[in-house]
Amino acid sequence: MSIHTTVGQDPDSNDVVILLEQQHEEIRRRMERVLAVDGKERRKAFHALVHLLAVHETAEEEVVHPFARRSLPGGEQVVEDRLAEERAAKETLSALDDLDPDDSTFMPQLMKLRKDVQAHARAEERYEFTHIRRSGDSAALAAMAKAVKAAEAMAPTRPHPGVESGTANMMLGPVAALMDRTKDAVRKAMSKDG
């Protein structure tokens, strides 16, 4: 069964809002998975979650927030609020990434991340996505959908722990490094698009 059937939408959608809402749903699902398993499986599940969060938030920051900033009434403030939430989530994500998933502080931190990420997703859907859809610019919606799909397809997978000991990545931290590489992939996809 396709992961997308949980929201009953077309995975090949040209509507960027549908795609992002599907990703919100999948983020929730992956979060639940991390909570449901332990040991090696928890580590794997956590990395799958980090990967999707990196792809999703980067695509929003590179593609969707700039459109909202320009096109929505009060867009400037709406986007500033969302970016602040995303920064906070990234900090928690990095802190979690430094922990052993079986460490006693991992679960409380993960619960905090879940709460923050869910509140953030609700705020985006309510204050940003509904207005983007109402803006009725189907060409822009389709172009953004293409970029989000490209981000998903091109985003680098995370190297195994220990592999990313290159100085630049070490200095940035693994989560930040992954987001940075994802940003490059999104930008490449967008420039290819012309």
Residues that bind Fe ion (CB under 5 A): 57, 60, 124
Q: How many residues does the chain have?
A: 194
Q: Which long-range contacts (CB under 8 A, 24 or more apart) does 175-179 make?
A: 175/50, 175/54, 175/90, 175/93, 175/94, 175/97, 176/90, 176/94, 178/50, 178/51, 178/54, 179/54, 179/57, 179/58, 179/90
Q: Minimum distance between the CB of residue 3 and Fe ion, rounded to whole angstroms?
A: 16
Q: How far is the CB of 86 from Fe ion (least distance, A)?
A: 5
- What is the smallest separation between the CB atom of 6 and Fe ion, expressed in angstroms? 16
Sign of CA dihedral 96, 98, 103, 105: negative
Of 60 and 97, the one with the shorter C-beta distance to Fe ion is 60
For Fe ion, the closer CB: 111 or 119: 119
**Beta carbon nearer to Fe ion, 19 or 34:** 19
Which is nearer to Fe ion, 17 or 190 (by Cβ)? 17
Residue of minimal Cβ distance to Fe ion: 60
Q: Categorise residue 88: left if φ over 0, alpha if ψ from -120 to 50, beta otherwise.
A: alpha
State the minimum distance, in angstroms, from the CB of residue 97 to Fe ion: 18
Q: Cβ of residue 116: shortest distance to Fe ion, in angstroms?
A: 11
Closest to Fe ion by CB, 135 vs 169, is 135
